[in-house]
Structure 1
Amino acid sequence: MRHDDLVLSWPRPAGEWIEAAPVGNGRLGAMVFGGPGRTRLQINDSTVWSGTPHGPADSLADVLATGAGPARLDEVRRAIRAGDYRTADLLLMSFEGPYSQEFLPFADLWLTLGEGSLHTRTLNLDNGVAHEFLTVDGHEVERSVWASHPAGVLCVSITGRTDVKLELDSPLHTVHKLFRSNGFELGVEIPVDGAPQHEPEVKEPLRYAVGALDDYDPFGALVVRIDTDGHVSTTASKLTVTGSTRTLLVLATSTAARDFWDGRAPRTRTEHLNAAAEAASVALAKGAETLLREHDADLRALLGGTSLRIGRQVNGPIAAEDVLSGRDEQLTATVMFQYGRYLLASSSRPGSGPPANLQGVWNDELRPAWSSNYTVNINTQMNYWPAEVTGLAECHLPLIDLLDKLAANGSEVAQHLYGARGWVTHHNTDMWGWALPVGMGHGAPSWAIWQMGGAWLVHHAWDHYEFTGDIDFLRDRAWPLLRGCAEFCLDWLVEGDGWLDTIPSTSPENWFLVDGTPQSLSWSSTMDIALIRSVFTRCLDTARLAGLDDPVLAEIEKALPRLRPIAVAEGGWIQEWVEDVPEEDPKHRHMSPLVSVYPLGQIDSEATPELAEAAVNLMDRRGNGAMGWSWAWKIALRARLGDGETARSLLLEATRPLGFDWDVNAPTDGSQWGGLLPNLFSSHPPFQIDGNYGFPAGIAEMLVQSHNDVIRVLPALPASWPSGALTGVRCRGGVAADITWRDGSLAALSIRRLSGDPLRTVKVAFLGRREEFTLAVGEERRLAC
């Protein structure tokens, strides 16, 4: 540990999962409970999901067999235009598949030491090591746990004289377990179907295959190898080390789902066990010191590119209870910025597997809330809001990999369900690339019917280019995704009253009132049109930048001016639906109409002041608290429009301790506010990690903005954050900024080009003035303050 590391500490072992410390390497995650006696490491692998690769295609075929398709879509559209919402609702439910699949727990590793006491339990947010200092049977013992990305393994190092008993089990079907002197191994079968909590009528919520499947074997292998100077003995269910002064455990996994994700030919169960054993053995041979050194260098290099300090420099461990107390809001903001970055780096690394899900890469429930999958009407997008701006661009890439899978499955859905070109996805997906609506034929269209999931997700491909300036990525990865999404949007639009409309259209999870009755189906919701306008604009920008010539561009240029402009309701706020209708819930947790503010940047205080004022009016109407992700979006929105004081107050609300039982799910309507759990996980409740990821994005937005081709420095600085330093914050155009402020005013500012076009002008707004200049790659400009 270095003197300036941010280190969280807890005075006691974790008694519950939400008190444990998370470690991860992008694919393997573990929750570390700590303490003497018998303690738990709860293990996850990002590829352990229910379901099968052919699940999306099979479900599409089943939906089409009910009669859903382009002809029925025409019926839906006629019913909505006629105001026959009940008929439209019933017809659309036939478009719903069952549900996307579940991210599942893998195993529990139990370590038993002797009797004793815990002196310190910490988690280093700069190098990802969970460390404990204990007294066990009168001896000093240290235990460190980390998940190494370079080695692809989970490591447990125990030093000091002690005996250790090791056990391993799994909540999944165990079909192989073997303990021997050099370690132990576990083989499990993974369910081929998993129903979410909100589908209680499913007779078999976790269904395992009966016999072998023709083309997919839902198998996972986990192997632990051990190196110790103690004596090892084994039974059929445990391994015991006696008289050791050093013990190193290395854990590796291999799954059939990982083969699917990587596009690799399927392997046998024996081959998976052998692959995991080899990975563990290779890592073990390096020894604890080398494994830790390589891990430390890797994670520090990633996390160290950007740093934030608000207020005083903190040296030494920070009690999590102090962060939760709210007594030092500058400390809380500093910690939550780094904690969110740490969690993203721990659950999303290139080449490691699927992107961070609703719980990152940490889950211990067989039926987690909302299946711990991907909700793509806000939550998955928020997971990746901090990726580019806080220096974690490489962590963004697993999401782009998922987009590739969605584009493949979504093209079949677009063609057969809607008669459209391109690709589509709705409001839920999973590691298999699920693209259908979910709902089992009874899901309310307010949440189940939303064809814009891909139109929002695809902006992440553009964002990666815009921050990095990587023209090869833009041409080779982003353009095919953008083009396919634009094709779907072009075909989804239909003639209206002089405008092009989306129909059916919903505003995610919200309802409006018609004659006092809640309805969700309309046409051309504000969010729909904002997303499509942005997709079209990004396509034209991409073609210009990459020198592309494609027939779809002419179609886009023709359609773009025929999209409805953003409307302002009679009450003075941004209108949510095509008509000025009353909301069922004026305090609704979703801020869907304001996607045009953040993250899309279509509404801006300088360029569109009247719309910016209307956006503020809608925020005032919606109010403050709800759950972690809603707070985070509201923080970013307020910051984007220059209101640092309200953004700060929202952050203070969001980082208070949860005020009721964490394992009692709050109503989804936001009527019961969430908060932070003892390990600083954000909650609804239940635990959802999107808030943790959204907080650093919102904090960054308060301190620097770079949308619409201008870098704005300290655009929303609260008065109660009078001093601080933000180093290496990334800005669009391939540049980074270092910012220091004192007494509420900018004290030092430097801009350097990391990548991108050296001829692209850098425009910086600070201290009431603007400067413009060019920078060669590697060049830095210090600006006079």
Structure 2
Amino acid sequence: MDNKYDLQFDEPIKRWDEALPLGNGLTGCLLWGNGAPLRFSLDRGDLWDLRLAPEVLDEGFTYAEMIDCVKRGDQEGLLKRFDNMYEKYPYPTKLPAGRLELSFSQSVDRLVSRLSLWEACAHIEMTFWDRSIKVSSYLHAVNGLGYIRIVGDSNAAGSLDLIPPDYAGEQQDNNANPVFHTSLTRLGYPAAGMHSEGHIRWFHQRTVHDLEYAIVIAEGEGATGERVIVYTIAANHDGDDWLEKAKRKTASALMAGYDAAFDDHVTWWTRYWGQSSITLPDAKAEKMWVLNNYLFGSCSRKGAPPMPLQGVWTADEGKLPPWKGDYHHDLNTQLSYWHYLKANHLEEGESFIDFLWNLRPEAKRFAERFYDAPGMNLPSVMTLAGGAMGGWPMYSLSITNQIWLCQAFDHYWLSTGDPEFLRDKAYIYFRETAECVQRWLMPGEDGKFKMPVSSSPEFHDNSLEAWLDQISNYDLSLLIYLFRRLHDMAEHLGYLAEAEQWANVMENLPDLAVSNDGVLMINPKETLTASHRHFSHMMSIYPLKLLDRKGSKRDREIADKTIFNLEVLGKGQWVGYSFAWAATMYAWQGNGEAALYHLQQMWRYTCSPNGFHLNGDYKQVGVCMFHYRPFTLEGNFAAICALQDMLLQVDDGTICVFPAIPAAWSDNAAEFRDFRGEMGVLVSARIRANKLEYIQLRTEREGSFRVQNDFGCERLLIIIGERTYEIACPVSERFSVDLQAGDVCSISIHA
């Protein structure tokens, strides 16, 4: 990979959310500072205070009680039972791990930082008048350890300090917004204990619940005289004798050396980068694709927890992370895992699938206790263990957000074509979700199903007006999607009686609410009349794709008018992810110019210099009214999803290449390699000078694959191994290619 993608800064990095990010799925490090000190802000994905608020354990914490409060118009009751706990208590919450600080005896005259994305390694070069020091650091992709190497003039060598979080410091909780400004001291933890044995040091942090953890460092001299530090974040849930094992592991790694470990680390990343690639005439878009795939590989790995709001880079500000670093299921977790399948990073993305699947027992308990229902359902704002955290109840306890989680299983099945996954996981996950939801579906006066209460994230915020007496398009779209996919999956599996059962439910769902102007409404009584950040009323356009854009003129007009209505209402209330989500809809619409424009707005104005999505227009240039900068990751990966959708879409099983690229890309050259389509096929293609040059299909499974003919010519040449033949297909129509597992098929214009 070309080092043109690297992050490079010629001035000291002053903030943690602009730092050089390192990660291996479980552990994260943010490298920043001016040398006085140079900071390594550390995080581990499973460090959580899992204590639940007393209100969650109260017998009145039920869906039925929530409905009764809504029917009575009892806002105080709703707040007291279901909402206030989120800000009232500092727990449950994601926890920061601590920090390493490297300080130097002299002030730094110049500091240059570079993050090599190819090697996943940070490099800092510091100049002290006539002396210089180079610091390199990486988080090992396989063994989980952190490595630091310091090379240079020993007279300027610095001291390395272990800094635990300030859990026992002075109370600092005077800010009016505890979502962003809750002091760590409110957790009530004791100060960490500092310890050392020879060349090994550590701090041991006890809490007031089950968790204990430590940061352990081993420090010594390398074979050529350089200074080497190996560190790890260990916790008591690592097993018996966890701290002693961590000390032995760091000491052993120090003996083995920096370079030997680095080779294995780079081998992992070389494999990762080999899974797919793109080449664009747009340097910024190409770099953002590479950078965000780097971020994904750093904070999502099989065997580790999936990324919550900040992934493995919990805020280092002496406070709890924004929104407690939780798992939000009304948008955030879903968008974070939109792009990985097409980018062909299956194993890394399986972290999310495995997490949801392993939480089924907790989801069943929550469905029974809170919803008084069979099947399963997870809280929409929850801990690592699936515990409810409260918050705005119409969203934090929405019964339909669970359906949006189901889509992760659907996407995985469609992308891989794995029949065992469909039978043993996807269908079961959908069916058990439906069992819970059906408990609360009831016929209305028109005979169509309705829900006792409905909402549409995040319209009317946390007011009584947010509770809708007629079903929202958000809830309805998810219900239509749930039962439509259950029907299709059951048919595919040969469960014909169950397929008929799901079809019967679909027949009794109402139609989506559409205004007289042909625009999707919030619900049959209310239309969106002002700018808003969350496009929940548009779920049927994207990501659910319920509207048949190509097969139905009415559906296409509804989608186009609703997207246009976003332009009419403006972007004042948008946040960063809104630009990314809008870009996905423009890409689905085939409007590559608009898709790219919205991606550029997000990248330029709502992302930190290191690429982190900061939600707001923190530069205050006027693209939206939110000027804050709370870091969350979902906007990063939703944007890359949109970019990939500009290059490849699979529409009703038909492969369409370059369906939504700007004219400038088509005029020059654009190419992608090994993007994942559907049913286990990897797709590559190139367009140059407005001509599609080739499509290549590589198959993991036997199947018949449909391709849209966008070559501008009816006569096409098909090459499969040593077999070559011609076909005739009208331009813009589709043709099928029958392939065996392991085939490589090349499609081009017949000369």
Q: Shorter-chain-normalised TM-score: which range?
A: 0.7 to 0.9
Decide which of 216, 228, 246 is 1:223's aligned counterpart.
216
Q: Does 1:404 align with 2:357?
A: yes
Q: Which residue of 2 aligns with 1:576?
A: 522
Q: Which residue of 2 aligns with 1:685?
A: 629
1:30 aligns to what SS in structure 2?
strand
Q: Say if 2:23 and 2:298, in contact at 8 Å, map to a contact too.
A: yes
The CA deviation at 1:144 is: 1.5
For residues 19-62 of structure 1, the C-alpha deviation after alignment (integer angstroms, 9 at most, x for no partner) is 2110100011000116545311100111112224xx38x65431
1 CA distance for matches of 2:492 and 2:117? 38
The CA deviation at 1:482 is: 1.8
Q: Say if 2:456 and 2:466, in contact at 8 Å, map to a contact too.
A: no
What is the one-letter code of the residue matched to 2:199?
A: N
2:429 aligns to what SS in structure 1?
helix
The CA deviation at 1:294 is: 0.8
Q: Say if 2:587 and 2:642, in contact at 8 Å, map to a contact too.
A: yes
Q: Does 1:98 align with 2:85?
A: yes
What RMSD over aligned residues (CA atoms) do the two structures have, in Å? 3.3
1:395 aligns to what SS in structure 2?
helix
Q: Which residue of 2 aligns with 1:252?
A: 232
2:643 aligns to what SS in structure 1?
helix
Q: Does 1:291 align with 2:261?
A: yes
Q: Say if 1:710 and 1:765, in contact at 8 Å, map to a contact too.
A: no
2 CA distance for matches of 1:615 and 1:512? 25
Alpha carbons of 1:375 and 1:695: their partners in 2 closer, same or farther (altered >3 Å)? same
Decide which of 278, 281, 285 is 2:248's aligned counterpart.
278
Q: Which residue of 1 aligns with 2:50?
A: 51
Q: Which residue of 1 aligns with 2:123?
A: 131
The CA deviation at 1:381 is: 0.6
The CA deviation at 1:337 is: 1.1
Q: Which residue of 1 aligns with 2:719?
A: none
Q: Which residue of 2 aligns with 1:339?
A: 291
Alpha carbons of 1:175 and 1:287: their partners in 2 closer, same or farther (altered >3 Å)? same
List gaps (5 residues or longer) in structure 1. Answer: 191-208, 231-243, 260-265, 312-329, 677-682
Decide which of 303, 316, 335 is 1:351's aligned counterpart.
303
Calculate the TM-score normalised by the size of structure 2: 0.84
1:432 aligns to what SS in structure 2?
coil
Give the alignment of 1:175-574 within 5 angstroms.
175-190=192-207, 209=208, 217-229=210-222, 245-256=225-236, 258=237, 267=240, 271-311=241-281, 330-352=282-304, 354-363=305-314, 364-365=316-317, 366-434=319-387, 436=388, 438-439=390-391, 443=392, 445-496=393-444, 497-511=446-460, 518-546=465-493, 555-574=501-520
Q: Which residue of 2 aligns with 1:201?
A: none
Q: Does 1:153 align with 2:145?
A: yes
1:33 aligns to what SS in structure 2?
strand
What is the one-letter code of the residue matched to 1:378?
A: L
1:686 aligns to what SS in structure 2?
coil
Alpha carbons of 1:558 and 1:739: their partners in 2 closer, same or farther (altered >3 Å)? same
Calculate the TM-score normalised by the size of structure 1: 0.81
The CA deviation at 1:303 is: 2.7
- Segment of structure 1 superposing worse, 649-658 or 386-395: 649-658
Q: Does 1:618 align with 2:562?
A: yes
For residues 760-782 of structure 1, the C-alpha deviation after alignment (integer angstroms, 9 at most, x for no partner) is 43434533242211222221111
2 CA distance for matches of 1:659 and 1:634? 16
Q: Say if 1:60 and 1:413, in contact at 8 Å, map to a contact too.
A: no
The CA deviation at 1:135 is: 3.8
Q: Does 1:61 align with 2:67?
A: no
1 CA distance for matches of 2:57 and 2:662? 54
| Residue correspondences, number | 687
What is the one-letter code of the residue matched to 1:451?
A: I
Identity of aligned residues (%): 24
Alpha carbons of 1:174 and 1:477: their partners in 2 closer, same or farther (altered >3 Å)? farther
1:784 aligns to what SS in structure 2?
strand
- Segment of structure 1 superposing worse, 561-570 or 630-639: 561-570
For residues 612-671 of structure 1, the C-alpha deviation after alignment (integer angstroms, 9 at most, x for no partner) is 322222222223542211111100011011111111111121122459999999699x99
1:598 aligns to what SS in structure 2?
coil
1 CA distance for matches of 2:329 and 2:462? 25
1 CA distance for matches of 2:407 and 2:745? 30
Q: Say if 2:67 and 2:452, in contact at 8 Å, map to a contact too.
A: no
The CA deviation at 1:117 is: 4.5
2 CA distance for matches of 1:663 and 1:479? 34
For residues 41-96 of structure 1, the C-alpha deviation after alignment (integer angstroms, 9 at most, x for no partner) is 100111112224xx38x65431x2x37454x467468x3xxxx6x25885696455
2 CA distance for matches of 1:302 and 1:664? 26
Higher relative contact order (CA 8 A, sep 6+): 1
Q: Say if 2:230 and 2:250, in contact at 8 Å, map to a contact too.
A: yes
For residues 177-215 of structure 1, the C-alpha deviation after alignment (integer angstroms, 9 at most, x for no partner) is 21343221121134xxxxxxxxxxxxxxxxxx2xxx5xx
Alpha carbons of 1:399 and 1:67: their partners in 2 closer, same or farther (altered >3 Å)? closer
What is the one-letter code of the residue matched to 2:689?
A: D
- Segment of structure 1 superposing worse, 125-134 or 763-772: 763-772
Q: Does 1:169 align with 2:163?
A: yes
Q: Say if 2:301 and 2:348, in contact at 8 Å, map to a contact too.
A: yes
The CA deviation at 1:542 is: 3.3
List gaps (5 residues or longer) in structure 2. Answer: 168-189, 712-731
Q: Say if 1:627 and 1:674, in contact at 8 Å, map to a contact too.
A: yes
- Segment of structure 1 superposing worse, 593-602 or 333-342: 593-602
For residues 365-413 of structure 1, the C-alpha deviation after alignment (integer angstroms, 9 at most, x for no partner) is 4222211212211111110111111111112222123313543223223
Q: Does 1:121 align with 2:116?
A: no
1 CA distance for matches of 2:252 and 2:552? 59
Q: Which residue of 2 aligns with 1:695?
A: 639
1:605 aligns to what SS in structure 2?
coil
Q: Does 1:655 align with 2:603?
A: yes
Alpha carbons of 1:663 and 1:696: their partners in 2 closer, same or farther (altered >3 Å)? closer
Q: Which residue of 1 aligns with 2:740?
A: 776
2 CA distance for matches of 1:714 and 1:571? 31
Q: Which residue of 2 aligns with 1:33?
A: 32
For residues 486-519 of structure 1, the C-alpha deviation after alignment (integer angstroms, 9 at most, x for no partner) is 11122221111211112211011113999xx944
The CA deviation at 1:751 is: 1.5
Q: Say if 2:614 and 2:629, in contact at 8 Å, map to a contact too.
A: yes
1:492 aligns to what SS in structure 2?
coil
2 CA distance for matches of 1:355 and 1:147? 18
Alpha carbons of 1:283 and 1:769: their partners in 2 closer, same or farther (altered >3 Å)? farther
1:418 aligns to what SS in structure 2?
coil
Q: Say if 1:405 and 1:433, in contact at 8 Å, map to a contact too.
A: no
